[in-house]
Every structure is written in C-alpha cells, then in structure tokens.
Chain A
Amino acid sequence: MAQLRQDYEQFKQRGAEIIVVGPENAPSFAAYWQRNELPFIGLPDPKASVLKLYGQEVNLFKLGRMPAQVIVDKQGVARYVHYGHNMTDIPSNSELLALLDQLNSTSEA
C-alpha cells in the first residue's frame, strides 16, 4: 500500500481512482489510513461481500487472504485481474500504470 501511495499521483494522472477493500472494520481502516496518510478510498468489508463477489480465496483463512487487483475501465468493464498466489504476489505499479496507458490510448483512438 505504501507502494501505491507513492505513485498515487501517477494513477490520478491516468484518470484512475484507487479503491482498497479489506476485511477490517471501519475504525481499523481509519486508524491505518491516518497512520499512513493514504489518499485512496478505503472500504471496510468485514462480511467479505465484495471479496466473495470477486472470488478472492476467502476459504483459505489459515493461509491468509491472498491479495488481488482488478482494473475496471470507465465503461465499468473489467480489463485486468490479478489473483495473487502468495502474500507478496503483487503486480508492480509500472505494470498497472502501463495497462492504464493502454486503456487511455485505445479509448481515445
């Protein structure tokens, strides 16, 4: 998340908003956001409703939840999905930013 914060402006410049969904409750989110000065939208999802909807591996509690990233374009269409295989399996910002560049160039063409 620190990584995303670092490049947040670059995401904004590409017309993207970042939404972080997690299992914690609202006070935990608020504390974490304040402590790390995060600019994104934070959605507490203790019931894992969105996680289930998007198919993150919520049944593997013992192994921990794996991270996942989805890019949804302005038309509401899912353009990129990455399901992590372990805790550190996170796509790089440059990869995500390149995908947004691609979306922007095709939509303007």
Chain B
Amino acid sequence: MPKISLNTLAPDFSLNDFRGNKVSLSDFRQKAHVLLVFNRGFV
C-alpha cells in the first residue's frame, strides 16, 4: 500500500468543498497547520 513519507512535502491537492469553494492544501501554507482526516464514510 502506498504511503506518504513523513518530513517531506505533503502532496498538494485541490478539490471543491461541498459548498463549491475550491480548497487546496497549499492555501494553508504559512497560514495554518492542517489536520487532514480521511473519513471512512458517514454512519
């Protein structure tokens, strides 16, 4: 299973949030830490 490496740049991505706003990981660079949660699905 591929895994990302620690202490290297996290892969950037861009997706629209559910309100239609574009969100990129790089938007937060120098601004905030990001806790990225991969959800398994709403129960």
Interface residues of A, Cβ cutoff 8 Å to B: 1, 4, 11, 14-24, 26-30, 32-33, 40-45, 49-51, 53-57, 64-81, 83-84, 87, 96, 100, 103
CB within 8 Å for A70 and B4 given contacts A16-B34, A43-B15, A54-B11: yes
**Chain A residues with CB below 8 A from B9, complex form:** 76-78
Q: A17-B35, A54-B4 are in contact. List 7 more A-B contacts (CB 8 A).
A: A17-B32, A55-B3, A55-B4, A78-B5, A81-B3, A83-B3, A84-B40
Closest chain A residue to B32 by CB distance?
Answer: A17
**Chain A residues with CB below 8 A from B6, complex form:** 78-81
Of the residues A4, A67, A72, contact of B40 by C-beta under 8 Å: A67
Interface residues of B, count at CB 8 A: 37
Interface residues of B, Cβ cutoff 8 Å to A: 1-13, 15-20, 23, 25-26, 28-42
Write 16 A-B pairs (CB below 8 A) sorted by A numbering: A14-B33, A15-B33, A16-B35, A19-B25, A19-B35, A24-B42, A26-B18, A43-B16, A44-B18, A45-B15, A54-B38, A65-B39, A70-B36, A78-B5, A79-B7, A81-B3
Structural contact, A67 and B15, CB atoms closer than 8 A: no
Interface of B is mostly: loop
CB within 8 Å for A66 and B4 given contacts A16-B33, A19-B23, A53-B13: no
**Chain A residues with CB below 8 A from B29, complex form:** 74-76
